[in-house]
Structure 1
Amino acid sequence: MAARPYAGRHLPPVALEMVDMWIAGNVIDAAPVGSTMVWGGRRPVWLVDEQSHRWRVVDDGGCRLLVAGDCYANDVDLREGLEAVRREDWRALTIWPGSYWVVADNGETCVVLTDVTGSRPVYFAPWRGTMAWATAVTPLAELTGAALDLVSVIARMACATIPEITGNATSHERVQRLPGGHALIIKAGRPAQVLNYELDRQEQSFDQAATALRGALVDAVTARTASVRRVSADLSGGLDSTSLAFLAAENVSEVLAVTRDDPAAPSDDITYATRIAQHPHLTHLVVRDGGNGLFFDRLVQAPRTDQPFTDAARWSMRHTFHSRVLERGTDLHLTGSGGDAILTAAPTYLADLVKPSSLPALLRHASTRARLRQQSMSSVIADAVRLSRTGHRQALLELATSIEFPEPAWERTSGRSLRWYTPMSLVTWMPLEVRRELASRARAAADSGPVDDVSMSVRRARDELREFGAYQAELTAQLEATGLPAHAPMLDNSMVRACLSVAPHLHQSPTTQKPLLGAALRGVVPEYLLRRPTKGGYNGNAYAGVRRNADTLRALLESSTLARAGLIDLSPARAELGRIAAGAPGRLASLEAFITTELWLNALTTTSTPPAWESRQAVARG
């Protein structure tokens, strides 16, 4: 295994200005600098910069309950929540509209809850005989003296959606991430426990799920728009953000709707956005590229995030048009982020259609995929049949082989077959010993067996959604660092549960995008939007950005921390950058992951900031 240059060495004081608000608890001897104590005792809880988000506490003397973030429960709901705390019904604390953290204590047990996707992150680490926790890694790493864990960083780069490879590891040793849909249970005198509060998947028919999704969407938008005076929204022309903007306009007298007109990536997004903007309550603002709206522009100016964040490369593109919203002012900005994650399915859904009752559907879907991928229909069906016969163990063994012995670049782009687990092509940039380490994790997971008995398609949908939650946590932090009060209602628990309640294949249709969303909003938003057959993309923008910023990207590669640690071979990375900069098709996602991780590592290890923690004794004396 490659050496870990930071193992056993503490980082310089970690950069904390990217963490506008964080919550911490179960720490006796230290307190966060500049924090407000929510409650004390054996399991204290603090909020840092509590003005950044709304938070409320209810307490009846025996039980205490904190909700923080964007929780739209009313006072009666929260009082009823205290009853759930008494009976330790943790899932009952996750049913309210909004996106939020929950901390509860009934005198014997403290529970810390993330949301279903994990977009409200919680991290924990052992410290002085107890379990400390926080909603950000960097302050927890400082408290516990955790060293940087580059192996876990690169494992997530290569296999982000595969928990059998990444586990719950973060960028720092011993600091673990609480998976989406889980609770951290802390009891006096007992080891901390991680509990899956979403263990029982609620199944519904397609029509039932559509009804539930419609109610969740309307509630999510209504609750948010009723809580503020000025509302803005992304209006991309796509189904997700455009539907949210339309629903908001149905609730308030004016919504500032912003659309990015990107000449580097032309599509019919602007056509749909302009048409929907005829709504009398939508004030439409079309923002055209002002020269700084490409991928990889102004990289060093991107707000830093708590964890490595691949979308940091797109920061300038987003900020180019969001800055116009900030100029006009807003109290709440709606985005469609998460819509693709909850409303679409990976192509592996075809395996679910391999049964006699679904044969007509299999033929329709296989025909569509064959046409789009320029493959024969028989090869697509054969792929689906093979996949349907591949269980969890075999899928992980195939993954191990594909990591240790990755296909050559030309094979990876030539109509590869469907697989349950596929590592990013970045594994081809790793030395053999690193690939063997990751492959050994897959084989160990194959031998230990799955932790539950859900189908492979449901398992993969859940894993990918939880990884999107990790992505969303950093995206939200980055947007808010610029002053934009960003919301992603598509990831509210009620929305996610409605979408997960149906089989993945019901999220796909040969004729329409996002059939569940269409069924949910039929009669609510215009039919022409729900029937849109196309979807915009960013490829033109990305390639133009690589060309314009090629020198900056080369410099980042040449100073690579991962390469110095022996975890990346720079030769194929250099070649990939050269191909993409020349306009040839390439592995853009791998390059983006590598560049943004290096950017994050540079910022983390070169910036010195004041300590995040102080002695509790000093606080008491003060």
Structure 2
Amino acid sequence: MEFLILPDCAAAQPFARAAAGPGTRSVAHASGRPWLVGRWEDEECVLVDGGRNRLALLGPTRADTGPLARLLDNSRAPHDLDSLARSLPGSFHLAASFDGRTRTQGSLSTARHVFHARIGGVTVAADSPSGLTALMETRLHEETLALQLLLPVPWPLSGRPVWTGVETLGVGCWLDVRPDGDAREVTWWTPPEPDTPVARAADAIRDALVDSVAVRADHQDVISADLSGGLDSTSLCFLADATDARLLTHHWEPMDRANADTRWARRAADLMPDAGHRFATAADGPVWYEAAPDRDGASDDVEGPLVWTRNRAHTESLARTVRDAGATRHLIGVGGDELFGISPQFGWSLIRSDPLRGIRTMRRFRSVNRWPLGATLRSLADRTSFADTMARAAQGIDAPPAPRFTPPLGWGRGDPRMPEWATRDAVATVRRLLNETAARRPRPLHPDRLQHQTLEVTVTSGHAARQLNRSLRPLGVTFETPFLDDRVIEAALSVRVADRVVPGHYKPVLTTALRTTVPDAVLNRRDKGAFGQEAYEGLYRNRERLAELCDALRLADLGLVDAGALRAALYRPTPDTRALSPFENTLACETWLRSPSAVAPLAASPAGGPR
């Protein structure tokens, strides 16, 4: 699926002609001018024609056109669709035309996102930068590429496009475009307060997950799913097994024998006798950091460096297996950890909402993580604002990593650091971007650190999932992430902080929600598999190939990376898997710079004139 959203004016009509090609479909505004132009299958789009008002839902969802038509009849402005946006299951783009005024939005996680640009004097929106860069003159935003080397990239910079002139929507916003092509961003959603007891929120979480899986099984003879053995993906398998589609699961045995994933996966498979189950050893597929044997699954990375580059070859191999088995949708458990796992900020938030329980919990956290008492107390007492935290982080991006046992109770996912092979110019550029952003005093996604962090990592995973699906589009398979759907996110964020961690229980909110739907034999797992051996083995096997990249490093040509320092680091052993993460960011950027996607938009026609 790919599409453009055009304003209801004559100046936008040439863009519809430029986007036309084999298989292109078009839906008009009430005026007859083109509104929605692109490619999609019938089951991927719900269209409702309400005369002067029109609505399109693009992506897996479930909606009755009769009530939708009545809603459009009774609506006077795009704002009147807020209640609809808050009620539908699945993951989709919502697009509406109200007598030529348009509303366009994606999903909260950005797994479905909206990009837009000012082209020829009007605002054009799209589900991907590729639709926009084909219509405009643009160039690589080298500052943004430098930012991609940072680990982690803090919100709101984490969603910054790599192409000049391309913008994105904020979380919980929709794009309001008037018929003359002028646009503004409108906030329609804010995170719920975490004040719902888990006993009450559990029903909403379960219903949302059941619906999210069900809409992806609609119109499917076969649906594929990861059966990793972990709680998240395994739960999705049981929900998929309850649909009318035939379930086919896939499990890759981990290299580390201490990882119990395979034992749990086989236990779950035995409880789903009607499904097909495929178990493969690590030797049956590519290792991490391996180049794919061909690039037929990697032809559309215009959005930028792929976050999940390290196991891209493995993912493409799995996508081909899924396709050959007759499935077009593959369920993965991404989002489960983000919404239901333990975040360090839990203690910071709990001690403010329930001090006595917070003190007891922090004693356990400190003991397990070996945090020094003084540092823990200082972190708990810290009230630094979100903007000031970003300004402080800017000063330390080239400092040595924080001590291993530093309590990570701040706003973000850790202290951002540039890799040791980043050039001084790259470090200075990133520091300036952080300082400039901090000076604008951005607000966090929620005033509470735990809520902010949960949303930030959810958006980060949505961004990665969106990129992955764009890159896999030529294979005809999408990797679906039900945990990242709006209804699931809302329900999870509403849970009272004190209910999110229960001593002796793993992901207690999720297991409570699914207790009547997923067997206890699966929900009783209390640990999570680790994949450090995959990282080390992949780096060891591919080190020579990765080092060869340094002979003609594109990042070095841009003045962002010292090729010699990167090569030396590749051959330096490290006992800590966290030290491998900077390699992944750098590899993602370098791989992308060598791909056709990094240069194709540069041949686009001048601004204002479609090709």
TM-score of the pair, normalised by structure 1: 0.86
**What is the CA–CA distance in structure 1 between the aligned matches of 2:285 and 2:66, rounded to whole Å?**
48
Whether contact under 8 Å (2:47, 2:55) holds in the other structure is yes
Within 2, Cα distance between the matches of 1:89 and 1:112?
Answer: 13
- 1:470 deviates by 1.2
Partner SS for 1:30: helix
Secondary structure of the residue aligned to 1:66 is: strand
C-alpha contact (below 8 Å) 2:254/2:261 kept by paired residues: no
The Cα of 1:48 is off from its aligned counterpart by: 2.7
Q: Check conservation: 2:54, 2:97, Cα contact below 8 A.
A: yes
Q: Give 1:369 shift.
A: 4.7
Cα-to-partner distance string for 1:238-293 (whole Å, 9 max, x where unaligned): 11110111122223474212111133575111111111111232222211234542
Equivalent pair of 1:353/1:359 in contact (CA under 8 Å):
no
1:78-108 Cα offsets, whole Å, 9 max, x none, are: 3244257534234323221111111101115
Alpha carbons of structure 1 residues 414 and 457: separation in structure 2 relative to 1, 3 Å = closer
In structure 1, C-alpha distance between the alignment counterparts of 2:259 and 2:571, rounded to whole Å: 27
Pairwise CA distance, 1:497: 0.8
Question: In the aligned structure 2, how far is the partner of 1:86 from the partner of 1:216?
Answer: 29
What corresponds to 1:76 in structure 2?
66
Does residue 278 of structure 2 align to residue 285 of structure 1? yes
Q: 1:154 to 1:513 in 2, by over 3 A?
A: farther
Confirm or deny that 1:549 pairs with 2:542: yes
Post-superposition offset of 1:599? 0.8
Instruction: For 1:494 and 1:319, locate their aligned partners in 2 and report how far apart those are by CA, in whole Å.
Output: 29
Note closer, same or farther for the CA distance 1:584–1:92 as it changes in structure 2 (3 Å cut). closer
User: Which residue does 2:204 correspond to in 1?
Assistant: 212
Q: Which residue is equivalent to 2:390?
A: 396
Q: Determine if contact 2:174/2:185 at 8 Å carries over to the other structure.
A: yes
Choose the corresponding residue for 1:467, options 460, 468, 472. 460
The root-mean-square deviation of aligned C-alpha atoms, in Å, is: 3.2
What letter matches 2:20 in structure 1? V
What's 1:37 paired with? Answer: 26
Instruction: Report the 3-state secondary structure (helix = DSSP H, G, I; strand = E; otherwise coil) of the residue aligned with 1:255.
Output: strand
Deviation at 1:331, TM superposition (A): 4.5
**SS at 1:57 equivalent:** strand
Alignment CA distance shift 1:160-1:153 (3 Å): farther
Asked if 1:67 corresponds to 2:57, the answer is: yes
Could you give the per-residue CA deviations for residues 447-505 of structure 1, whole angstroms, max 9, x where no partner exists? Answer: 44344772233233323322222111012223443332432111111111111223566
- Structure 2 gaps of 5+ residues are none
| Aligned match of 1:432 | 424
Deviation, 1:518, is 0.9
Counterpart residue identity of residue 307, structure 2: T
Aligned to 1:245: 237
CA displacement, residues 550-590 of structure 1 (integer Å, 9 cap, x when unaligned): 1221122332222222222334422321125x877562111
1:119 maps to a residue whose letter is A
Distance 1:211 1:134 in 2: 35
Residue correspondence of structure 1 range 91-130 to structure 2 within 5 A:
91-94=82-85, 95-130=87-122
Matching of residues 185-334 of structure 1 within 5 Å: 185-189=176-180, 191-199=182-190, 201=192, 203=194, 204-252=196-244, 254-263=246-255, 267-278=259-270, 279-299=272-292, 301=294, 303-304=297-298, 305-307=301-303, 308-334=305-331
- Compared CA separation, residues 294 and 133, structure 1 to 2 (3 A): same
What letter matches 2:103 in structure 1? Answer: V
**Who is 2:2 aligned against?**
21
Alignment CA distance shift 1:366-1:442 (3 Å):
farther
Amino acid at match of 2:38: V
Q: Is the 8 A contact 2:82 2:188 kept in 1?
A: yes
Q: Which moved more, 1:602-611 or 1:321-330?
A: 602-611
Separation (CA, whole Å) in 1 of partners of 2:502 and 2:74:
40
* SS of the residue 1:312 aligns to: coil
The answer to whether the aligner puts 1:58 opposite 2:45 as a matched pair is: no
Once the two structures are superposed, residues 55-89 of structure 1 have per-residue CA deviations (whole angstroms, 9 ceiling, x without a partner) of: 12111211011111212212234324425753423
| In 2, Cα distance between equivalents of 1:58 and 1:585 | 51
C-alpha distance in 2 between matches for 1:253 and 1:169: 38
- Shifted more, 216-225 versus 360-369: the winner is 360-369
Distance 2:145 2:498 in 1: 32
Q: Counterpart of 1:353?
A: 350
Render the CA deviation track for 1:97-143: whole Å, top value 9, x for unaligned: 11111110111521111111111121111112111121111231231
Which secondary structure state, in structure 2, belongs to the residue aligned with residue 263 of structure 1? coil
Q: What amino acid sits opposite 1:37 in the alignment? A: S
Task: Write the letter of the residue equivalent to 1:281.
Answer: D
The answer to whether the Cα contact below 8 Å between 1:28 and 1:43 also exists between their aligned partners in 2 is yes
Q: Is the 8 A contact 1:29 1:616 kept in 2?
A: no
- Work out the CA distance in 2 between the residues paired with 1:170 and 1:107: 31
Cα distance in 2 for partners of 1:312, 1:433 equals: 25
| Mapping 1:526-537, distance limit 5 Å | 526-537=519-530
1:3 corresponding residue in structure 2: none
CA distance in 1, matches of 2:597, 2:218: 43
| Whole-angstrom distance in 1 between the partners of 2:386 and 2:450 | 10
1:140 and 2:165 are equivalent in the alignment: no
Give the share of equivalent positions with the same residue, in percent: 23
Corresponding position: 1:591 with 2:583? yes
Q: Is the Cα–Cα contact under 8 Å of residues 370 and 405 in structure 2 kept in the other structure?
A: no
Aligned residues of 1:272 and 1:529 also touching (Cα < 8 A): yes
How do 1:379-458 and structure 2 match up within 5 A? 379=374, 381-387=376-382, 389-403=383-397, 406-409=398-401, 411=402, 413=404, 415=406, 418-421=409-412, 422-451=414-443, 454-458=447-451
Counterpart Cα distance in 1 of 2:34 and 2:496: 42
**Mapped contact 2:61–2:88 kept (Cα < 8 A):** yes
Q: Give matches, 1:606-621, under 5 Å.
A: none
Hey, what's the Cα distance between the residues in 2 that align with 1:77 and 1:399?
A: 50
SS for the counterpart of 1:579 is coil
| Offset of residue 51 of structure 1 | 3.1
Please tell me whether the aligned partners of residues 563 and 570 of structure 1 are also in contact (alpha carbons under 8 angstroms).
yes
Distance 2:68 2:125 in 1: 23
Matched residues in 1 for 2:182 and 2:458: separation? 28
Q: Is the 8 A contact 1:332 1:486 kept in 2?
A: yes
Amino acid at match of 1:155: L
Partners of 1:117 and 1:469 within 8 A in 2: yes
C-alpha separation between the residues in 2 aligned to 1:617 and 1:130?
12
Which one-letter code corresponds to 1:57 in the other structure? L
Counterpart of 1:149, as a letter, is H
- SS of the counterpart of 2:308? helix
Alignment check: 8 A CA contact 1:118 1:179 kept: no
The count of corresponding residues between Structure 1 and Structure 2 is 592
The one-letter code matched in structure 2 to 1:350 is: G
Moved more, 247-256 or 55-64: 247-256
Instruction: State the shift of 1:176 in Å.
Output: 0.8
Structure 2 residue matching 1:194: 3-state secondary structure = strand
